Structure 1
Amino acid sequence: MVIKMKTVGIIAEYNPFHQGHLYQLEQAKLLTGATKVVVVMSGNFVQRGIPAIIDKYARTKMALSHGADLVIELPVCYATASAEAFAYAGISILDRLGFVDYVCFGSECGDIKLLEHLADILVEEPTSYQLELKKELKTGLSFPKARTKALLYYIKGKESKGYDQTSLELLLNSPNNILGIEYMKAIRKRKSKLRAITIKRQGAGYHDSDISLPNASATAIRNVLVEDDLFSLPKDLPVETMTILKQEFQKTYPIFRNDFTSLLYYKLSMVKEKDLTSYADVTPELANRIINNLTYAKTYDDFCLSLKTKELTLTRINRGLLHVLLSIPKTQNIEVSYARILGFRTDATKLLRTATKENRIPLIVKTANAKQLLNQEEYELFEQDVRATHLYHQMIFQKFHTYFSDEYTHGPVILKE
C-alpha cells in the first residue's frame, strides 16, 4: 500500500527568519502530520513597501536550514501589494502546485473557526454589510478602516463566536489576523481543497520593538540591525540565521529604504503627475501630493512621512512609491501563473517531480529557461522580478562593493542532506 506524503504550505517574508518562524514550521508539521514544508516567500521587497533587510537567497538558506523543504518566490507585484492580493497570490501558488494539502499561518487569536466565519462574511458580502461599507467610505475613511467598521456593524447583534465588540475590533486590527482572514477568503474564492490551520502567535507581537521579549519580532531584530548592533541580537535566534547575519553583516546587508533615496527622486522627477496614477497603489490624491512635495532635500523615509494624511496611510504611501520605483503598473492578474524556485533540499526533489507531473503551473528552476516556459504576459510579469532583484543587487554592490551574479546565472539554493 502506498502512503501519500502530506505537505503543508506556509506564506512568509522571513525578514529575517527568527524563532517565531521556527516555532511555526515545527508546529505546522506536528499539527498536520506533514513530512514536507513548502514556503512561498517574498523576494527582495516586502509587503509594507520596503526592501527586505537581507537578500532573498540568504533568507531562503535560513528557511531551508531550519525545516523548509522547498522555497518558491512570491512575485514582487504581489509581495508588495495589499493583504488581499498578497494572500490570494500565495494561496494560488500553493493550490496550483497540486500536492500541497494544508496551509498554515500564524495569528494573534489562534481561532480558525472565527477567522473562517469572518472570511465567509467578506466573501458573501451581505447587503447590510455592503450598505454600511459604502456609508463608512463616504466619511473619508480608508478602505481597511471602513471595512472593519462595516464588519463590526454587521456582526453586532448576530453570532459573534463568543467575542465582544471590543475584542472583535482588536482582532480585526491585528496584522496576522488580517492576513489570516485573507488566506481564508482566497481559499473560499478559489474553491480550493487546501485545509487551513492557524497557530497562535507566541511571545512578542508583530509590531513589538523590544528585543528582550521572548521570540523577538522581526521588527525588533531589524531595529537592532539599523543600529549596527549585532551584540544585541537575541541569543535564541535560529542557528543558521545567526550565522548568516554575522557572516554577511556589512558585506551584503543591511539594506534600507533610504539607500534608494536618489533613485526614487530621479524616477519621480521624470514622471508626470497624470502618469503616476498608472502605477499600483498610486491614487490621484497621492500623485498630487508627490508632485507638490517633491524635493531633493529629503530622505526616502522623510518623503514618505511628508505625504501622509488622514486618508493616505503610511503603508499605502510606501507601496505606491515602491511601485513607481520598480515600475509596477496597476493592472495585475492575481492568479499567479508560474512558480519560481528559490531553493530546495536535495531530499525534496520528489516534490518538484510531482509538481512537474501535475503540470498545473510552470516550474522555473533555471531563470534562463523562463522564456520558453511562459507566454508573453507571464514572462513580462517574471521580468519584473528579475529587474527588482538586479536593482537590489546593484544597491548591495553600491553600498558594500559585494558582487552578486545576475538572475540568469544565479541558480537556486540547494541544501544537501
Structure 2
Amino acid sequence: MRTVGIIVEYNPLHNGHVYHCQQARRLSKADAVVAVMSGHFLQRGEPALTNKWARTEMALSMGVDLVIELPVAYSAQPAEWFAYGAVSALHLSGIVDSLCFGSESGDIAWFSELADLLADEPEVLQKQLHARLKQGLNYPQAYTRAVQYVLRSEGIGAAGCGTDDAYDLAKPNNTLGLHYMIALRRLGSSIAPLTIKRVKAGYHDPLEADAQIASATAIREKLLVSGDLAAIQPYIPHYTAEILQREWDAGRAPVHWERLAVPLMQAILSRSKEELAALAEVSEGLENRILRALNELEGSCSVEQLIEGCKTKRYTRTKLQRTFTRILLGHRKELLTRDVLAQGVPYLRILGFSRIGRQLLKQMKQTASVPIITNVGQEVHPLMLLDIQATGIHALGYQHFTAHDLLRDYYEPPLMLQQETSASEEVPAADAAESGSL
C-alpha cells in the first residue's frame, strides 16, 4: 500500500486543505494519507480554535486515513523544529513513502538543492545569521538574508536569492518546505518529497480574495470578528461547518488567546523574573519587557494589549505568541533543548483512523521505530505529559469545562470513522496548506 504523508494544523480545515489532500494523493499515486497534526497549540504560537479531536474528525471526514499528533514540544516551535518533529513522526512510522507539502515556489528541485547546502548548517550561515540578529532583525528576516548570502557565495542563481516570489524564503510555505527538506536530509529518510504550488489565496490575503478559497488565517479572523459561522461557510466543507457548529453549541469553541488571558496573566504574575527567564522562548531579557508591558496596561488586561506592548522589530507577534505559549504551559528550557528535539518524536500518538488507517496501524506495529500510543496510561513519556497538560489548559478556554475536558487525553480513544470519506469531492485550485513561519 503506497502512503503519502502531509503535515497539517486544520485550524479550521477549509477548501484549500481539501485541494491539498486531493493533490497529494494524485501526485504520489498513494492509496492512503497519513497526517501529522498539531495538537492544542500551533506553530505561530496560537491556541487551536477547536480541540484536536474535533479537528481529527474533520481530517477523517475529508479522507485522511491516519492522524498522528505532533507533540506540543514541536508544534509551537519555529519552522526548523516544527518541521523536524513532524517529518520525524512520518519517518519513524515506517509506513510513509512520500511527503507532499504546499509552497509558493512549487519547485521541488530548488528546495532539494538548497536543503543539500544547508542541512549541515555551514559555519558561514551561522555567522551571517548571528550578524544580522545583532543588527536588530527578527529571526525570519535574519535567516532569510543569511541564506541569501550563502546562495550568492556558492554561486547559486539570483532566483535563490529571493528576487523572484517563487523562491522567496520570506514566503511562509517556502520556509516550511525548505525545513521539511532539511529534516529529511538530517534524518536520512527515504521518504520522497513532493510539492504543490500554493495558488489563489495567500497567507495574508483577505477573505474576499476568492469566492471559495481563503487561508485559515482569514477564515479565523472573519469568524472571530463576526461570531457568525455562516460568514465562512463558502470557504469550508460541509463537515467542517457541522463540526464547528457542534463545538460552538457545546461551548468548546472558539478558543483563542483572550479566552486564556486569566491563566496567562496568572502564569506571568506567579513567577519571579528568574523563573520567567528559565522558561523556553524567554531570552535576551524578554522577561523584563513582558513585566514592564504588563505594568503599563490600562483598563482591562487583554493578551492583545500585552502583545502590542511587547512588540518590537526584533520581537514579532509570532515570537511573542510562542513565548506566551511556553509561559502559559510552564515549559522550562531544559525540556526543549536542541539535544532533546534532535532525537525526533519519542512516540506516535494516534488521534484517529479510517478503515484503511486501521490496516496502517497493524503495519506500523512491525515498522515503527518508537512506541505507538492509542490509549494513554498513567506512566507516560515526559513530552507526552506536556501534551496532557496542554489539553487541560486549552480546555480552560471553553465557556464551561468539566474535569473530563481537563483530563480528556486519559479517556479518549482514537476516533474511528466508518463512513465513506469525502476525499473525492472536487474544489477549485487552492492554497495548498496552512502555513507557519520562522
TM-score of the two chains, using structure 2 as the length reference: 0.87
Displacement after TM superposition at 1:72 (Å): 0.8
Tell whether 2:113 aligns with 1:117: yes
Tell whether 2:172 aligns with 1:180: no
Amino acid at match of 2:112: E
CA separation of 1:285/1:209 partners in 2, compared to 1, >3 Å: closer, same or farther? farther
Identical aligned pairs, as a percentage? 39
Q: Is the 8 A contact 1:209 1:223 kept in 2?
A: no
Tell whether 2:222 aligns with 1:224: yes
Amino acid at match of 2:217: T
Q: Give the match's secondary structure for 2:255.
A: coil
CA separation of 1:22/1:290 partners in 2, compared to 1, >3 Å: closer, same or farther? same
Tell whether 2:393 aligns with 1:394: no
Which residues of structure 2 form unaligned runs of 5+? Answer: 420-438
Which residues of structure 1 form unaligned runs of 5+? Answer: none
Tell whether 2:191 aligns with 1:194: yes
Tell whether 2:156 aligns with 1:147: no
Q: Give the match's secondary structure for 1:156.
A: helix
State the partner residue of 1:340: 349
State the partner residue of 2:303: 300
- Of structures 1 and 2, the one with the larger relative CO (CA 8 A, separation 6+) is 2
Q: Is the 8 A contact 1:152 1:168 kept in 2?
A: no
Q: Is the 8 A contact 2:42 2:76 kept in 1?
A: yes
Deviates more, 1:229-238 or 1:59-68: 229-238
Displacement after TM superposition at 1:169 (Å): 9.2
2:3 to 7, 14, 39: 7
Structure 1 Cα separation of the partners of residues 30 and 75 of structure 2? 26
2:372 to 363, 366, 378: 363
1:58 to 54, 57, 80: 54
Structure 2 Cα separation of the partners of residues 306 and 117 of structure 1? 41
Q: Give the match's secondary structure for 1:398.
A: coil
Displacement after TM superposition at 1:32 (Å): 0.7
1:413 to 411, 415, 418: 415
Structure 2 Cα separation of the partners of residues 165 and 249 of structure 1? 42
Deviation per residue, 1:375-402 (Å, 9 max, x gap): xxxx121111111101222331537x89
Q: Is the 8 A contact 1:148 1:169 kept in 2?
A: no
> How many pairs are equivalent?
405
State the partner residue of 1:67: 63
Structure 2 Cα separation of the partners of residues 347 and 133 of structure 1? 45
Tell whether 2:324 aligns with 1:321: yes
Displacement after TM superposition at 1:126 (Å): 4.2
Q: Is the 8 A contact 2:201 2:209 kept in 1?
A: no
Amino acid at match of 1:290: I
Deviates more, 1:125-134 or 1:54-63: 125-134
Displacement after TM superposition at 1:249 (Å): 2.2
Deviation per residue, 1:187-233 (Å, 9 max, x gap): 01111111100111122011223245241110111112102122211
Q: Give the match's secondary structure for 1:294.
A: helix
Structure 2 Cα separation of the partners of residues 121 and 141 of structure 1? 23
State the partner residue of 1:76: 72
Q: Is the 8 A contact 1:396 1:402 kept in 2?
A: no
1:40 to 25, 36, 41: 36
Amino acid at match of 1:54: T
State the partner residue of 1:281: 281
Displacement after TM superposition at 1:170 (Å): 6.7
Structure 2 Cα separation of the partners of residues 289 and 176 of structure 1? 30
Tell whether 2:30 aligns with 1:28: no
Aligned CA RMSD, in angstroms, stands at 2.1
Q: Is the 8 A contact 1:224 1:230 kept in 2?
A: no
Q: Is the 8 A contact 2:37 2:67 kept in 1?
A: yes
Amino acid at match of 2:372: L
Structure 1 Cα separation of the partners of residues 138 and 393 of structure 2? 32
Displacement after TM superposition at 1:165 (Å): 4.5
CA separation of 1:161/1:238 partners in 2, compared to 1, >3 Å: closer, same or farther? farther
Q: Give the match's secondary structure for 1:105.
A: strand
Deviation per residue, 1:324-363 (Å, 9 max, x gap): 1011122322211001111111332111111111241111
Structure 2 Cα separation of the partners of residues 351 and 54 of structure 1? 27
Displacement after TM superposition at 1:319 (Å): 0.5
